[in-house]
Structure formats: C-alpha cells, structure tokens
Amino acid sequence: MKSFQLIDARSPQEAASLLNKYKGKAQPLAGGGDLLYLMKDRIEGRQIQMPDVLVNLESIPKLDSISYEKGKGLKLGAMALVSDVEANKTIRERFPILAQAAAEVASPQLRNMGTVGGNLCQKPRCWYYRNAHLPCLKKGGSTCYALEGDNRYYHAILEGGPCYIVHPSDLAPALIALNSQVALVGPKQSRTIPLESFFVNTKQNLYQENVLKPDEIVQEVSVPEPKEGSRGFYLKSRIRKSWDFALASAAVQMEIAGGVCRDCRIVLGGVAPLPYRAKDAETALKGKKINEQVALKVAEEALKAAQPMSMNAYKVDLAKTLLKRAVLQAGKV
Amino acid sequence: MANVKIPDSVLVGPEGTKLKAWGSSKELSAVGKPRPKIGAQEKVTGSAIYAYDVQLPRMLYAAVLSSDRAHARIAALDTRKAEALPGVRAVLTYKNIEPVKWEQEGNILRDTVGYVGEPVAAVAAETEEIAYDAIHLIAVKYDPLPSVIEPLDAMKPGAPQLQKAGNVWQGKPVIYKRGDVEKGLKEADIVYEQTYTTSVQHHTTMELHGCVVQWDRDGLTVWDSAQGVNQVRDQLASRFNLPVNKVRVICKYVGGGFGSKNSAKHYHGLAALLSKRTGRPVKLFNTREDEFPVSRHRPKTIQTLKAGVKKDGTLVALYHKAIGQCGPYLDGAALGARATGDGTKSLYLCPNLMTEAYSVHTNTPLLAPTRGPGDTENLFALEQFIDELAEKVGINPLEFRKKNYAEVDQPHDNHHYSSKGLDRCYDMAAKAFGWGQKAKASAPHKKRGIGMSSLIWHGNRTEKSQAGVIIQPDGTAEVVAGIASLGVGAETIFTQIAAEELGMKMESVGIRWGDSSSTPYTINTSSGSRTTAIAGPAVRAAAADARHKLLKAAARLLGIKPTEIATLSIKDGVISTGDQSKKISVAEVARKQGRELIIGTGHRPPNPEDMAIEIFGAQFVEVEVDEQIGEVKVLRAVTAIDCGRWINPLLAESQIQGGFIQGMGMALSEERIMDSRNGIQLNANLHEYGMPTSLDVPDTNLALDPEVIDASNNINAKGLGEPPLVGAGAAIANAIYNATDIRVRDYPITPNRIVQALKERSSGTRQG
C-alpha cells in the first residue's frame, strides 16, 4: 500500500477543515473497508488520486451514535457501525427495513468495521474500475471497458452511460425508502439534504457518485418516524449467501390501511449508478389493494425503462421478482 | 469384501518374513481408529510455524512485478528509480539475471511475456512496503504481440500461433479408442448428444504461495509452503546445478495446496537468486491478486458427449470430445487434455468408445493440477450426461448406472480391480440418503430436488518409497518420513500404521517429517491422492523391520533362540511368548539397547501387476432452488467412497466433507472471469472469486465408509484426497434439474444462468 499520513480529527468541522487544507490530497477514513482496499490495490487514474493524507473520523466523539426519539425519528451518526444498526432493538422494531438491509451487508466481520457513512459513500464494484491495469472512463481514461466487456454482475440496467457502474450500497435503498435526510458538514457551513438527492448518476458526475464536496463529510443520517401503518421490506439477490454485493435489491416502504397502499417509496439497488427510485412503480402501487397482480404490475412499471447490457438481461427479471416479493411482503398484514 | 486375497508380493517383510494380512479394521488396534490430527492444536492456537512465519536475521523482503499484457515483447525497461529508492537491495530483470532455465521456454525472466501475471522483475528490499513501492517505480514499455485468449478462437485458422506445433498442444488431440463408435451408434435405439462447459477453478489456498530462502556458502535452504520437500529440493538442485546435499527444503505445515504447491515455481527461483545476489535471506510471498496466476488453476473445458443406448438402457457407444484451455507454454499444457479421463473410459461398460482431447494454447496463465485434475472436469460433464441418457430411456438414474456397471477395467486390458466397492457405495449412500424421496420445499416459490453422481479417481501406480521407524531409548517410537504435511493428516495416519505393526499404543508413536535433510525419500510430493497408498506401505515395512529387530533383541534378553522369535508377539507395548510364560516391555528392551537405537527401515513393495487400481464412490445431494432469483441451497450431501481401508475415520470424514464443499464451489459459484480481449482476470480476489462461505455449505455433509479392503498394498488403502470433489458438481446439477426441470450445462450454475434459462424456457426458446 502507498504510504500516507493519518490525522485524527476531533470534530466533524475539524475533519472538513483538514480535508480543505489538504484539498485533493486527503480523504476521510471511516471503517476503511473500501478506501484501504482501493489504496492497497493502487486504484488511481487521471481523475482519481490516491490520498497522501487520511483524516480519521473514528477519533471524533459520538459520531458513532444511534439515537431515537419517539415522534421525531432516528438519527444515525456517520460512524455508526453497520453491525450496530443491524442489532439495534429500536431499529428492528420500528425500522425493520433498515435492520434487514444492514444484515445483508457483506459479512459479520465487515459489518463490525463498516459504518453508515462509509456504506453510503463506497465506490462502485465495477471490476474494470477496480483493476489497476485498466485506465477506465471513470478513472479518467477514454474507454468504458464494461460496455463491450464482461458486464454480467455489477453493471447497470437502468440509467447507465457513459459509465455503467451500479451503486453497491445496501443501506442506501432502505434509507431512501424511509425518506431519510443526510447532514453534510463543510469547514464553514453545514447542509441537510434528502438522501435521495445525495446520489447522482454518471451522466451528472462521471467521477463521483454523490454531491459531497471535496471538503465535506457525512455527519448524520436522520430517518423520520414512519407513519402509523407504515411497513417496509428489503430483499437482496446475490451469488453466495454471505459476503457478496447485490446483483439486484429492492426496498419497499409503504403505508397501508385496510389492505390498501396509501403511500409508498420504492428503491432498487444494484441496478443503476445510483440507488434507483422507481417513481412510476410507486404511482402504480398507491391507492391499490395489495395482491399478486398489483405487485406484478408495480414490478413491470419499475423496470419498464430498463436497458440491459450484453450479459445482464437476467437482472431485469431478477429485480422484478425481488420487487414483487418485497411489495407482497411489506403488504402482508 | 472381508475375504479378499492379498497377494504375497505386497506382504514382503524383513528377512524373508511375511507381513500379516490385516483383516477388518474392527480387529485392529490403531489403524481404523479416529486419532485426532497431529498439529491440530498448534494450528488452532496459532503456534504452528508456517513458512510465512519464518523470520531470519537480516532478512530482506521481495516483491514481484508481473505482466499486465497477455502477449508482448518488452521494448524498454527502466529500473533506475526503483534501484534508487532507499532500502532497495536488488532488482532483477531479464537484463541482469543469470541464465537459469526455468521452463521449456528458457530463462526464468525473459524479454517477452505470454500471459497477464507472468513475472517481469523482482525486487528485494529492507521492508515489504519498500519492495512494493519499488516495483511500482519500474517503468516497462511493451510492444504488443498478437494474442488469443479463448481456446475456440485459438483453434480458428489465422489465430496467432503460440507454439511451433500450433495452438493444439503437441499438434494433435489425445485419442483413445475401443470398438467402433459409429457401428455402436447404428445399433443403438437412441442416440443423444450434448455439450457442457466447466470454468477455471483456482486453488485459493488460505496460505499464500511463497518461501523464505537463504543462499549462503552452505548451500540453499528453503523454508517453503510445499506439498513435498523432496520434489522442490530436487528441482532446485537441478535448475541451479547444485549438489542435492547442498539444498535443503523445510516445510512442516502447509496452509492449503490442492495441487498448486507440488513443484519449484518462479517465486522459488526469484527468491533464491535475490538471496544469492544480496547475500541475505529473502522472504517472497505473493499478493493475493498475484496468487491467481501464480498458483495456476484447473482448465476451463468445452465438452461434447454423444452416446448410443438400447431401449433397455444398455450403453452401446460413447464418444467424448473435450477442449481444454492451457497457457502459451508447454509447462502444464498436458493438464488441458485430461477431461476425457477415467470416468468416460472406465466407469461404465461400453464396448464402442472413443475419446478425443485437445489442450489448446492461449495467452492465459499456466495450468497446475487442481484437486482431482481431469476426472473432475470429466465427471462434471459425464455424470450430467448419464442422467440425461437415463431420462431418455426412462430409467431411474441410479438404476441406469447399475445396469451399465463395469466389473473390469476396460481401458487397461480388462484387468480386475484390486477392489471395486462402487456397488456398495451406491447402495449404502442411497439408503442413508433416502434416494427417491423428495421432501417438501420450505416456501411456495422454492423447489426441492435430489440428484446423484458416481465418482472415480485413478489409483496410484507403482512407485518407490522409503521410510524409517526409530525405537528411542525410552521405548517410544518415531516414524521418519520425507513428506510435507499438506494438511490432510498423512503424518497422523503414519503413526497409526506404525503403532499397529509395532503393537504399540498410538500415543507412544510420534513422527518426524517436513525436512529434506533429515528424512528419507518417502514421497516426492503429496499429489494425486497418493501419499497414504505410496508412503503408508513403506511406513508399515519400516515398522515391521523395527519390530523384527525389537523381537530379536527381546529374544536375547528372554533367552529365546533367534529361530523362535516367530513365537513372540507385541501387544500394548509388551512383548510376550504365545503362552505368556515370558514377557518384557518394549520400553525395557529399548532401555537395554541404550544409545544403540533400533532403527527400522522399509520400502514399498511394487503393486501387483495383474490388478487395476481405481478409487470409486457415489455422491447424493438434495437442493432447494428459488428459480426465479436463481438461488440454490445445497441442503444435504451424502458421500460414500471406496478408497480402500479408512486408516483414520476422523480424517477421512473431514477430507470428504471438505472435498464436497470445494466441488460445490466449482458447481455453484467459483469461476475465473477473464476479459477475453486483454486476458486480464476481473475477479482476482477472494471477494469476487466465489468460494463458498459458511452459510453456503450444507448442514448435513455425511461421509460413509463402505469398508473395502483393497488388495494392492499392505495397508489396503487406495487414496482419498481428491475423489470427494469429483462427483459433487454433477450431483448438484442433477438435483437442480430434478427440482426445476432446468438443465444448466455450464458451470458454475450461478443465478444469472438459472434466471436466464428460466426466461428462455418460459418464452419457448429452450427445452429442458
């Protein structure tokens, strides 16, 4: 691994100031599962530099907290461990979709290291991007190797182009389905935005998967209290039963009364460069009585814009099945 | 099987005596007993010393720069920046390395590269970090040469030719024939043809490949992670032109080999030359990414099978064509032409048969034996095909196999087998499994299925082996064996064999192994599931020699004539006459011997000439499939293996369980994914190369002993390391078909393949 300087930050603001001070040469370090992996593999290019400085977020007090206030909702510090989210009793009871998603992340060892902020900010799993020998488009080269190469697993069927990554996070689809907000801290000011608008696709920004400025960090994710009768479900498909990213995943959160969906949010993971909000599918679900036929229609709507690549047409069917099942599961009273 | 006749030729004992033929393991005291593995506690607690743990004074760390081109000539190579980096002690490239011939292609480093991952330069530095920084400072300019990655492309006219004989290894296929296939197909009621593919499987050993080497005036000492100390020693001596007594290879424990650590590879040579250049010990271990090309792999294959069967299920003709992918060089290429192996030729009675195997040179890494090489690829295809044939004629797959049972070894002059317990394996595994009963799936969208496969693995050929057994002055015994411990427990079972012969308790027999300078030549390397069957008989012979010498010494002490020592026996460490009138303990004899130790030596008698030796078995699995998302869960596996006598049931069970899991990985998730444009492996890491996790393995993974006593050697064993992998894949594929009516003929059977097949079936573009 390339050698680097590690600086302990004492507050989110100080972390942002340090990033500002070493602009372009520094990266925030959370669990390290992804960042150190990229550094060990020396993944770099014209548009992606390996950092000389790592700003340690673990030294910031209380950034790993998980708190809940009835009526106001849940707050997850950026450094909250994925395993803590998975095990948290309140989350299991009141935000089960989030606990389900957390339980699907990587392996137990990695969940013990991985953080909420790190999970949301991880880099894509495209194996061309992650190959040190190939100067792919996303690293600043001129070719997307996946377009005519092997795109069977971790490439887009929706919103792809000019780069065809998919967003790998399990937490993001669940948190967006829960209508979460994310608080970002810069050296001088902070801002809070819907988590959904935190992510961008590769047409908006080829080199970065979110709107974080180089001197900003994620401080906190806040999840509003779900309305009465709100239910959620997260389903993920992968090759092995553990330690695999999603081939596709589906997050459904909906309010139900008398078997009828009053409101819902539907997000797909592993299919697009960003967690994919399926608004047409939501429209197809709202006001409907949940049954097999409606669930199928919802799935069809969600994937109707799909443009699979040469080897991943199966992911359309996969995502439809997952979404259909998630709708039926969430709708089960 | 209890009345099997063991030929006298394999029971030769010391000084004209004859060894006792062992009966059922129930009658034995040490052999057949579950002795816990020697070294297990050390491994679990972390105190076992592996090559990676070796730290020597003034040791340097090495790193290797490997090629990122599939085929290229090195146009320019600039190492000045690397050499200038503080802490770098040596940089080796083709320009400055001494000429050491490594493969058929020439020197260990050359000015051309033929696959991604081929070594280009090696650095030795004061720390591992400096060594890796240094290799990234080496500037290489490549002139590309025409390359070809896929075997079918390499067989097309106009493809770049990688060898003088062309891209087909040796310029022609390896062909085997008996009878007349065309005639057989004409006689058949049903003719069926199908094509299957298998993927590259890697060894993925937990311990990386590498060694610590010290080359000084005393010669070359290598702390290695190897399957055999002798083969690595011999190869290094030969390549560096050193006397054999100047090369010492030490390897007590190995963190996994599976065929990848049999021989001296590039890293041994580069570490040795760096040590020679710097005059300091050098540690060279690969990165995990480099492991994939360095360990090499099982070839991917494309196999077509065609058969003719009678309506009653009699197999009358079988044709098998296999194309295997090998690297650009001759090294390892033979392994690409082994998929038409023992399974097709021997497993079923078939008068008209032809096999045709092509190993095709491509610009991909080289092949190495990978647990069950050849037969595994063979049976993954053949045993699916057999199920398809059984369905065509409407016979239960198990009955179809029994109907075409071969009592003799057809490709080897119809010799009788030294033992063949396949019928017993079928019956006992089917019974334990509950063959024919399909359980109800756990959810409405899931389906259950059952499947089975036969397995075969070629038994050992005659080889020489020598071992020693020392009776120490306190009456304990020590086996001395020139092996490395591959991890399967050979050293443990050797103590059991010696204890049985000596009439001593297992606990009083120890073993010294893993150092080429202090052990005899017991085996070159532990490959081919041979160690028990090759070295075990030598250990028994050595123990018999020690026993004979012990009895002679005891006879002197007890006042018995030397001609009457046959009346003495040893039980639980006590030597006594038949009427128990005179006794003396082994410890007492040993004490009286003092420093004049009793040293037994023994060698392995040759195999009987008129017997074929093959290992057989049957594997049954139950799966649950969620076909809409392509998810397969193997719920149960039952494996019965006729490997001859089970010397240690505890170790036999763990071999079978582990082997099944490795086969399951190949069937369901393990696959090298390589970009066919540039030869770069896209999943050269343990995360994306899908070895099974603990959640993927079946809860029930049962191993059964058919209690076969084999006639080919004095311990009645044939070998077990590889067989349990061989039939796993087809059994799983057959079970998936039984569950879903979807036949996926390409391994691994990953979710994309199942979902795609389901879609094709529902849209009518696919049948079955």
Scanning every residue of chain A, which has its alpha carbon at the shortest distance from the alpha carbon of B133? A2
Which among A237, A241, A242, A297 has a CA at the least distance from the CA of A271? A237
pLDDT tens per residue, range B158-191: 999 999 999 999 999 999 999 999 999 999 999 9
Interface of B with A (CB under 8 A): 68, 116, 129, 132-133, 136, 289, 445, 628-631, 633, 669, 673, 675, 677-678, 680, 682-683, 687-688, 690, 692-696, 750-752, 755-756, 758-759
Q: Identify the bridge partners of residue B125 per DSSP, sorted by sequence position.
A: B61, B88
pLDDT per residue over A174-214, tens digit each?
999 999 999 999 999 999 999 999 999 999 999 999 999 99
Report the alpha-carbon distance of residue B693 to residue B318 in Å, rounded: 38
pLDDT tens column, B339-388:
998 999 999 999 999 999 999 999 999 999 999 999 999 999 999 999 99
Give the CATH number, domain containing residue A259. 3.30.390.50
Can you tell me the mean pLDDT for B459-473? 94
Is residue B768 scored above 70 in pLDDT? no
**Chain A residues whose beta carbon lies within 8 Å of the beta carbon of residue B70:** none
Distance between A1 CA and the closest CA of chain B, angstroms = 7
Looking at residue A1, what is its pLDDT?
83
DSSP type of residue B245 = G
Instruction: Evaluate if residue B104 carries a pLDDT over 80.
Output: no
Instruction: State how far residue B751 is from chain A, nearest Cα, in angstroms.
Output: 6
User: Which pLDDT value is given to residue B485?
Assistant: 86
Contact A317/B759, CB-based, under 8 Å? yes
Q: How many domains does chain A have?
A: 1
Nearest to A150 among B445, B633, B675 (CB): B675
> Phi, psi (5° rounding) for residue B80?
-60, -40
Q: What is the CATH number of domain B407-459+611-768?
A: 3.30.365.10
Structural domain of residue A313, as residue ranges?
232-331
B563 C-beta neighbours (distance < 10 Å), count? 8
Cα–Cα distance for residue pair B292/B365, rounded to 1 Å: 9
* Inter-helix orientation angle B266-278/B229-239, to 10°: 60
What pLDDT score was predicted for residue B2? 45
Write phi, then psi, for A117 (nearest 5 degrees): -65, -40
DSSP code string of A125-160: --TTTT-TT--BGGGT-SB-HHHHS--SSSS-SSS-
The secondary structure of B635-666, three-state, reads EEEEEEEECECCCCHHHHHHHHHHHHHHHHHH
A 10 A CB-CB count for B479 gives 28
Indicate yes or no: CB of B756 within 8 angstroms of CB of A1. Answer: no
Mutate to test the interface with B, among A240, A316, A332 (most CBs of B within 10 A): A240
- Structure tokens given for B254: 């190995």
CATH 3.90.1170.50 location in chain B:
51-145+204-295
CB of A305 within 8 Å of a chain B CB? The answer is no
Q: For residues B315 and B386, give the distance between their C-alpha atoms in angstroms, rounded to a whole number.
A: 10
Per-residue pLDDT of chain A (333 residues; tens, 9 = 90+): 888 999 999 999 999 999 999 988 999 999 999 999 999 999 999 999 999 999 999 999 999 999 999 999 999 999 999 999 999 999 999 999 999 999 999 999 999 999 999 999 999 999 999 999 999 999 999 999 999 999 999 999 999 999 999 999 999 999 999 999 999 999 999 999 999 999 999 999 999 999 999 999 999 999 999 998 999 999 999 999 999 999 999 999 999 999 999 999 999 999 999 999 999 999 999 999 999 999 999 999 999 999 999 999 999 999 999 999 999 999 986
Q: What distance in Å separates the CA atoms of residue B728 and residue B268, rounded to the nearest whole number? A: 34
Q: What integer pLDDT is reported at residue B767 of this predicted model?
A: 65
Name the catalytic one among B491, B624, B653, B722: B722
Report chain B residues whose CB lies below 8 A from the CB of A237. 629-631, 751
φ, ψ for residue A35, nearest 5 deg: -60, -45
Chain B residue whose CA is closest to A3: B129
Q: Round the average pLDDT of chain B to a whole number and report it.
A: 96
**Chain A contacts of B673, Cβ < 8 Å?**
127, 150, 152
Distance of alpha carbon A28 from its chain centroid, rounded?
Answer: 17
Query: What whole-number distance in Å separates Cα of residue B534 and Cα of residue B461?
Result: 9
Chain A positions in Cβ-Cβ contact with residue B678 (cut-off 8 Å) = 134
Whether A1 and chain B come into contact, CB under 8 Å, resolves to: yes
Measure the CA–CA gap between B727 and B340, rounded to whole angstroms.
Answer: 15
Which one of A2, A244, A314 has the shortest CB-CB distance to B752? A314
Q: Cβ–Cβ contacts within 10 Å for residue A36, how many?
A: 15
* CA–CA distance, A61 with A286 (Å, rounded to integer): 43
Reduce the DSSP state of residue B667 to 3 states and report it.
Answer: helix
**Measured distance CA(B256)–CA(B252) in Å, rounded:** 12
Q: CA B419, B422, B425 angle in degrees (round to 5)?
A: 120
Q: CB-based contact (8 Å) between A237 and chain B?
A: yes
Specify the 3-state DSSP secondary structure of B329: coil
User: How confident is the model over B273-299, as a mean pLDDT?
Assistant: 96
Report chain B residues whose CB lies below 8 A from the CB of A155.
Answer: none
Give, for A30, the enclosing helix (H) or strand (E). Answer: none
pLDDT for the residue numbered B1: 47
Sequence-separated contacts (24+) of B397-405 with Cβ below 8 Å: B397/B451, B397/B452, B397/B734, B398/B426, B398/B430, B398/B435, B398/B452, B399/B313, B400/B313, B401/B348, B401/B426, B401/B454, B402/B426, B403/B312, B403/B313, B403/B314, B404/B313, B404/B314, B404/B315, B404/B348, B404/B349, B404/B350, B405/B348, B405/B349
Query: Which of B673, B696, B755 has its CB closest to that of A240?
Result: B696
Strands B60-66 and B119-125 come out as antiparallel
Q: What angle do CA B586, B590, B595 make, to 5 degrees?
A: 170
Q: C-alpha angle B267/B271/B275, rounded to 5°? A: 170
Q: Scanning every residue of chain B, which has its alpha carbon at the shortest distance from the alpha carbon of A128? A: B682
pLDDT tens digits along A260-310:
999 999 999 999 999 999 999 999 999 999 999 999 999 999 999 999 999
Of B21, B164, B14, nearest to B715 (Cα)?
B21
Is the distance from CB of B543 to CB of B554 less than 8 angstroms?
Answer: no
If one counts every other C-beta atom within 10 angstroms of the C-beta of residue B277, the result is: 19
Stretch B73-97: mean pLDDT, rounded? 98
Reading the block at residue B20, the tokens are 């006792």
**Does any domain span residue A91?**
no
Between B375-393 and B649-668, two packed helices, what is the crossing angle to 10 degrees?
Answer: 70
What pLDDT was estimated at residue B682? 98
User: Given pLDDT bands bounded at 50, 70 and 90, which one contains residue B43?
Assistant: very high
Q: Which of A244, A317, A325 to mutate to test the interface with B (most CBs of B within 10 A)?
A: A317
Per residue in B666-685, pLDDT (tens digit) is: 999 999 999 999 999 999 99
Query: pLDDT grade, residue B459 (50/70/90)?
Result: confident
Residue A214 lies in a domain: no
Structural contact between residues A144 and A136, judged by C-beta atoms closer than 8 angstroms: yes
Q: Which CATH number fits domain B51-145+204-295: 3.30.70.1150, 4.10.780.10, 3.90.1170.50, 3.20.20.70?
A: 3.90.1170.50
CATH 3.30.365.10 domain residues, chain B: 8-30+462-603, 407-459+611-768
Instruction: Enter the DSSP assignment of B248.
Output: E
Tally of CA atoms within 13 A in the half-sphere of A207 that contains its CB: 14
CB contact under 8 A, B675 and A242: no
The C-alpha atoms of residue B186 and residue B681 are separated, in whole angstroms, by 45
pLDDT for res B3: 55
B12 touches B18 (CB < 8 A): yes
* Closest Cβ–Cβ partner in A107, A145, A239 for B750: A239
The SS3 assignment for B543 reads helix
Residue B761 has pLDDT above 70, yes or no: yes
CATH 3.30.365.10 fits B8-30+462-603, yes or no: yes
Of B682, B692, B752, the CB nearest to A127: B682
Percent of chain B with pLDDT strictly greater than 90:
95
Are A240 and A106 in contact by the 8 Å Cβ rule? The answer is no
- DSSP letter for B596, please: S
Residue B331 scores a pLDDT above 60:
yes
Question: What single letter denotes the amino acid at residue B454?
Answer: S
User: B476, B508 in Cβ contact below 8 A?
Assistant: yes
| CA atoms of B565 and A152, how far apart (whole Å) | 73
- Please state, in angstroms and rounded to a whole number, the distance separating the CA atoms of residues B409 and A74: 71
Least CA distance to A127: which residue of chain B?
B682
Q: CB atoms < 10 A from the CB of A194, how many?
A: 11
B195-206 residues labelled b (16+ CB within 10 A) or e (exposed): ebebbbbbbbbe
Considering only CB atoms, which chain A residues are within 8 Å of B289?
41
Whether residue B628 and residue A317 make contact (CB cut-off 8 A), yes or no, is yes
Exposure of A332 by Cβ count < 10 A (0-12 exposed, 13-18 middle, 19+ buried)? exposed
Known catalytic residue: B653? Answer: no
Q: Is the predicted pLDDT of residue B132 greater than 80, yes or no?
A: yes
| pLDDT of A333 | 64
Contact B693 A107 (CB under 8 A): yes
> For an interface test with A, which of B290, B629, B693 has the most A Cβ atoms less than 10 Å from its Cβ?
B629
